[in-house]
Structure 1
Amino acid sequence: MDKIRKIIHVDMDAFYASVEQLDHPELRGKPLAVGGNRERGVVAAASYEARKYGVRSAMSGKMAALKCPQLIFVKPRFDRYKEISNQIREIFYEYTDLVEPLSLDEAFLDVTENKVGNPSATLLAKEIRAKIKIQTGLNASAGISYNKFLAKTASDINKPNGQAVILPEEAEDFLNKLPIERFFGIGKVTAKKMKQFGIHQGKDLKEYSLQFLTKKFGKSGLHFYNIVRGIHLSEVQPNRTRKSLSAENTFDKDLATLMEWEKALQEIYQELCRRIDRTGIKGRTVTLKIKYKDFSIHTRSKSFEQYVDLPKIWETVQELLDQEALTQPVRLFGIGLSNLNLTEEKDYFGKQLWLDFEE
């Protein structure tokens, strides 16, 4: 019989906003949004004080200000978030080398076999959260279970600053009652489609056959069939395969002229060059990403037989920009490199100066 795995999902509470409140005591206890402003842009993170008013990440700054007129907006400081994230990651490695970061503020840990010899994943999670608080001053929540999906789901149960465990014998009852939109891999569109079939909770999903689910939802049907039965075999992956390296920027003001486009792309290209220099990554495909004023996204790519050098990347970006006239003002530009010369991610916590938080 296979040994039951012990997985912990650690999720920092309102990470970006909590860091800002940690570094700026005058912001503590106040509704805070990281990113965006009252006129445009999007919220990257919201403090719990702001969430009481309905402010959420990925919400437009304008909408957030309407929901909470006293909302305080601050600019993101990703270097600082990465610095603290690295401190937290080092704490994880004191317990296990099987750490799979999902982002700067959350990760999976496989503690089935751990460095401190503690058989209780629940006690380990409590100890890890306490150590994070002592060393960084920030609160973390955790979920514990026998697979990644249930551990991640459990970490939301007692947020903020809490933890929950879903034991194997409890999983079936828990999943039967779980709202369908909280299942891993089921987004808003899929949830809406499922509800048309009367699928509102796990127990409803379980009534449908694998044949029906694959017919209606394609390859994802097997995933849905398995997870509602507590089957999620994905292991904690300490190394992730990187498929591309990119940099992008969402602008405070839509850019409407060629001069503005070229200037913005030059800055993004320079950031991409810094990332290439830091990681040593090379690629054979250059992609230009364009998000227009109406939020429509278009990409243009060109591939080469050999890995491209830095001057060739910029030359290709200009060529892709001139390939076809842009149809309206631009909200975001991105430059990406793919078909890379590596199989493993070299720096998952890489520096990220530009993030697109919009869906």
Structure 2
Amino acid sequence: MAQHTKEYIREEIIRLLKYAPPEMRVAVLALLPATKRTLNQGYRPTMRGVPLRSWRCLLHLLSSVASMQSDTEMLLRVSSDLLAIADRMAPPGEVLRQSAEILVHAMHAELYVCRLRNSRGEWVARSANHVSGKSIPIVAPMLEESLREHPVMNAILQRHTRYVVSNNLQALERGGDSFDCVIYKEGYRSRLAFVLRERNDKPPFGLVMLYTTREYGFETFDERFLGKCARLVSLTVGRRIAVARDTLEKAAGAMAHYGNNALNIMRNQAEYCGELVEDIDANQARALRLARELMAEFPEDTRGRILALELENALAHADLTELAGHLGGVLEGTRRMTRIINSLKKSVERPRLMHYALGHDVLRLEDDLPRED
């Protein structure tokens, strides 16, 4: 193992630099500190048993290892930022958007587009933004998985592909890698797409597509770095979505159980009260008829006739219509709550937020009546 000693490595570097031009010697020596820091952090380059035969090989090796220093720092920063928001529960579309906001800055991109897969296998654009707030190009609202000519759709169909870099964003019919030429006409030249997959070879659930106006803008990133970054994004985003879905499922299940039980009790009591109102109304009508018959039995200006008249007036003004209307409102309220609970169960798969008071976002639940086809 003498060839791995510090003395041997130093001698080999001196031997290789002996034939290098002066400016190349300076470049190699300048790369040594960054290379050492990268190796100290645990990175091990793949040597494949090929010996270094010239100063050019040494320069290439040191450059590739030193570049991993910045990649490692970036990966740590991205992971830290993603984990910092990991405890914030949000719908899938919002989780994807928050993660894209981190990635678009980390990868020095200028634009991101997030897509989610619907039940029909279509990748629907859910959010997009430019880092400087500039206008966003009109992107295809949805992409079909059957579009195999599109490199991102093709990557989706390959189970183990987690990212794809495209450097020709012209339209497919022009031999490019985009659905249409809008992105290219707006000046974007490179795209980095992360395919977010769950474990156990499940179908991918999301796409984060980053764009830059720089030619070959993402080629500076090492393949292993992009692979690690893609796995990290899939894990953090997938975990957040899974936790949110699980929590929402439990909440929806609990609400369906306890809420429906309470609503059934309220509905039964309101319906029973409605039956009582009907009985009271029938008895009131009968009492009013008897009061009028009783009044006819007494002569004018007698005490009995006066009391019978007062009884008739009291019964005539005791209108139960308003009470019946309020009971109907209670029944309609229980039916509305049933629809809301059903909407809560459906929102487990497609939750949506809406703005509420004091700047808070709440889960949007539909309580509209079902449409008739």
Indicate whether the TM-score tops 0.5: no
Higher helix share: 2
Higher strand share: 1
TM-score, scaled relative to structure 2: 0.22
Q: Which has the larger radius of gyration?
A: 2
Q: Which structure's relative contact order is higher, taking Cα pairs within 8 Å and 6+ residues apart?
A: 1
TM-score, scaled relative to structure 1: 0.23
